[in-house]
Amino acid sequence: MTTRDDIVNGHTALGIELGSTRIKAVLIGPDAQPLATGGHDWDNQFADRLWTYSLDDAWDGLRACYADLARDVRDRYGVDLTSVGSMGISAMMHGYLAFDADGHLLVPFRTWRNTNTGQAAAALTEAFGYNIPLRWSVAHLYQAVLNGEEHVARVAQLTTLAGYVHSMLTGEKVLGVDDASGMFPIDVATKTFNAAMLDRFDDLVADRGFGWKIRDILPTVLVAGESAGRLSAQGAALLDPTGTLRPGVPMCPPEGDAGTGMVATDSIAVRTGNVSAGTSIFAMVVLERELSRVYPELDMVTTPAGDLVAMVHCNNGASEVGAWVGLFADAVKALGVAVGTDALYEALLRASLDGDADCGGVLAYNYLSGEPITGLEEGRPMVLRTPDARFSLANVMRAQLFAAFATLAIGMDTLRAEDVRLDKMFAHGGVFRTKGVAQRYLAAALGTPVSVGEAAGEGGPWGMAVLAAYTHDREPGQSLPGYLARRVFADAPLETVVPDLSDVAGFQAYLRRFRDGLAVQRAAVEAV
């Protein structure tokens, strides 16, 4: 059959992911290769000292993204996209989306980026004997309880961004287990929320007189491969107001961007890991065993199949690299030269390869927001240099890329102390589209070989499409790792970079200065 036939007959899967700066859709065929894409840029706002996204902006962006995908299908294959074989929604994990019994949003969406939940996170960590990060939904909920916020008594549904969109498209209040693991601790034996900790939470708030128990307001947890409903007529109209998209599409469990990143990099099996680099940056390592104790640097989450994962999450990733590229784009424009964004990224990232191994005394901080791993509640992006530093384009860009990986390297030291073994480490995200640059520096930062596949630039939405295909097409009893190995990655080419000893030494020298300079970052937060 031709690709056009596959599209007409619904032998496709669609993944849509609401990322931190872009909403993107990827349509794949029976061989999991991308057939068409769509996208829409959006961004968060800092309002009343909280990071948020408007849900109206989310729907406007989803419609624009889907329209862009449908346009790409028409342009490439000369056919209208009336249906797909299966579909899935993913989005940024964590945060606080609370609704009343009528489905009305009670307070603006509080995203993963907020760090105002320290009191709640510490109290819950002590009560549960389990690390509760600042970003987790239960930390946001309990902080609202501690703050005495009026709306808490009226909460009827608590979910994530992916769970919310999915419920609007299908009517099903469910969530994939990976995304759910960023809301409340998961029991990996039952692959649902930890029952003892649910009871403990209810005990903590028993004197508040709420008319709900936490079990009542959390979504139902599903693992990869389970049915999560079908696209309703109302949902189809929400996504495609033209009426071209027909309802009835089978939907897979909505997932978080960490889970789709694991799928996109084939790092679902034990002793595999991946790094996802975007506005935030995080590493996911699938564990063979429980860790010996609670670590505040590590989130204990799961794969979309429900297996235990240690997550090193840094709030600040590659955004500051993008800001510097934007600055140079303005300079090029002022000279009257037309250069595309991709070409400019390529040129600037490759320029970093000519820098000194340790960035020549140039030090950068990419902290646009607070960073729990280094104990900062707020951030101030900055570039520092000594008077004798070798201040050049190459060293500035190298320092920005090193900064994107520095906090991650600090967090990963914890796993090394636990003697966690890795057979494979993969990477994905737009910064890796320039081959052999960011990948090379990440290998140096982690001290381990790093592999990037051809789908690395497509990232999460492609991984979400693969999860949708798995739900629809898997053989009886076929595990997710088995499906990925046989159906998706069997012949997939990989480019692997081994750490260069000079890069490793240079990064370690840079990291020492980075740690020492955190005092300057803290002073900047207080002063500016």
Task: Return per-residue pLDDT of the chain as tens, 528 residues.
Answer: 699 999 999 999 999 999 988 999 999 999 999 999 999 999 999 988 899 999 999 999 999 999 999 999 999 999 999 999 999 999 999 999 999 999 999 999 999 889 899 999 999 999 999 999 999 999 999 999 999 999 999 999 999 999 999 999 999 999 999 999 999 999 999 999 999 999 999 999 999 999 999 999 999 999 999 999 999 999 999 999 999 999 999 999 999 998 998 998 888 988 889 898 888 898 999 998 889 999 988 889 999 999 999 989 899 999 999 999 999 999 999 999 999 999 999 999 999 999 999 999 999 999 999 998 999 989 999 999 999 999 999 999 999 999 999 999 999 988 888 988 888 899 888 899 899 999 999 999 999 999 987 754 567 899 999 999 999 999 888 999 999 988 898 887 888 999 999 999 999 999 999 999 999 999 999 999
**DSSP reduced 3-state for 306:** coil
What separation in angstroms does the CA of 332 have from each of 325, 326, 327, 350, 392?
Answer: 10, 10, 9, 17, 17
The H-assigned helical ranges of 372-437 are 393-417
Beta bridge partners of 363: 384
> For residues 131 and 291, what is the distance between their CA atoms, to the nearest angstrom?
12
Q: Looking at domain 264-317+411-497, what is its CATH homologous superfamily? A: ATPase, nucleotide binding domain (3.30.420.40)
Q: What per-residue confidence (pLDDT) applies to 276?
A: 85
Q: d(Cα 111, Cα 90) in Å, to the nearest integer?
A: 15
CA 313, CA 520: separation in Å to the nearest integer? 22
Would you kindly state where each structural domain of the chain is located, as residue ranges?
264-317+411-497, 319-405+501-527
* DSSP secondary structure code for residue 485 in this structure: I
Q: How many helices (H) and strands (E) in the chain? A: 18, 22
> What is residue 498's predicted lDDT score, i.e. its pLDDT?
94
Q: How far apart are CA 60 and CA 78, in angstroms?
A: 26
Neighbours of 464 (CB within 10 A): 36
* 315 CB neighbour count, 10 Å cutoff: 27
Q: Pick from 33, 30, 25, 32: which is nearest to 69 by CA?
A: 25
The β-bridge relationship of strands 34-41 and 22-28 is antiparallel
First to last CA, the chain: 62
Tokens, residue 379? 């951030």
Tokens 């070409």: give the residue. 343
pLDDT at 417: 86
